């Protein structure tokens, strides 16, 4: 499931939470102080969620949260015995996603963890759809922008849509007729060679990347090839 960092100086509470995490299929990683927790987070790229005690020694939970948030959007839950509104606001201002007051129900904590992981997975899936990368080319569909090695490539709408269609199903061959139907529309009346001229211009604008990846399958159509 998920690799989860739990940072708390109370060993009994850590063991209890770790037991529940393992039963749920997660992999807990323990830290007994804030410095140790930050060292683990900064050296372990597989951490998917952090449970941070606010009053932990060396580096408190709020400061841990701030430092983690500068580098990552990983979900963070703060654990604390303090329930004052000011403390909760401080936690959220530091970048926490949730705030759990001790003593707490481990079962409820697991539900909160599952909810945050689902939300993070949905966000990651959306990001993967919005931003497509291949061998130096980055296609940002939200910004409607293409770059190669960080250099912007100016494309017409048709050229952009052709590239998006092909790169979203890399390796698949699309016929000229399929591209006409999907990009120009079913009611388009014109020559399929219109696709050829657009692809030729697109390949030219993409330069070496286009030569290496935008392939013509003679007599059939086009595809994006992964070397």
CATH code of the domain containing 10: 3.40.50.2300
Residue 215 in tokens: 């392939």
Task: Answer whether 53's CB lies under 8 Å from 76's CB.
Answer: no
Q: Which pLDDT value is given to residue 129?
A: 65
Task: Answer whether 101's CB lies under 8 Å from 81's CB.
Answer: yes
Q: Which pLDDT value is given to residue 188?
A: 62
Domain count, the chain: 2
Same-domain status, 45 and 84:
yes
Same-domain status, 43 and 140:
no
Same-domain status, 108 and 38:
yes
Same-domain status, 96 and 171:
no
Name the domain boundary from 80, 114, 129.
129
Same-domain status, 13 and 73:
yes
Please give the model's pTM, rounded to 2 decimal places.
0.58
Using alpha carbons only, give the angle 207, 211, 217 rounded to the nearest 5 degrees: 140
Encode pLDDT of 203-216 as tens digits.
999 999 999 999 99
Domain that holds residue 217: 135-224
Q: Which pLDDT value is given to residue 204?
A: 96
Same-domain status, 23 and 107:
yes
Q: Which pLDDT value is given to residue 206?
A: 96
Name the domain boundary from 96, 111, 129.
129
Same-domain status, 124 and 142:
no
Same-domain status, 105 and 182:
no
Name the domain boundary from 129, 161, 188.
129
Q: Which pLDDT value is given to residue 73?
A: 82
Encode pLDDT of 71-108 as tens digits.
788 899 999 887 667 677 888 888 888 888 888 898 98
Write the CATH number for 200.
1.10.10.10
Q: How many residues does the chain have?
A: 227
The β-bridge relationship of strands 151-153 and 214-217 is unpaired
Percentage of the chain lying above the pLDDT 70 cut:
93
Neighbours of 41 (CB within 10 A): 22
Residue ranges of the chain with per-residue pLDDT less than 70: 83-84, 86, 124-129, 186-190
């Amino acid at each position: 499931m998920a690799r989860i960092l739990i940072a708390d100086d109370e060993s009994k509470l850590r063991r209890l939470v770790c037991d529940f995490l393992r039963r749920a299929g997660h992999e807990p990683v323990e830290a007994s102080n804030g410095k140790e927790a930050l060292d683990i987070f900064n050296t372990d790229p597989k951490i998917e969620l952090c449970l941070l005690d606010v009053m932990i020694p060396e580096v408190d939970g709020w400061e841990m949260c701030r430092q983690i948030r500068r580098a990552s959007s990983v979900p963070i839950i703060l654990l604390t015995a303090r329930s004052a509104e000011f403390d909760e606001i401080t936690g959220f201002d530091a970048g926490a996603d949730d705030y759990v007051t001790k003593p707490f129900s481990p079962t409820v904590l697991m539900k909160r963890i599952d909810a945050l992981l689902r939300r993070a997975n949905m966000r990651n899936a959306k990001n993967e759809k919005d931003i497509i990368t291949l061998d130096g080319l980055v296609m940002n569909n939200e910004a409607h922008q293409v770059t190669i090695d960080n250099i912007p490539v100016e494309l017409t709408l048709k050229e952009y849509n052709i590239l998006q269609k092909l790169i979203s199903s890399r390796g698949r061959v699309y016929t000229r007729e399929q591209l006409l139907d999907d990009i120009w529309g079913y009611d388009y009346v014109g020559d399929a060679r219109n696709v050829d001229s657009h692809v030729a211009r697109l390949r030219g604008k993409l330069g070496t990347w286009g030569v290496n990846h935008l392939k013509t399958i003679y007599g059939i159509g086009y595809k994006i090839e992964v070397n």
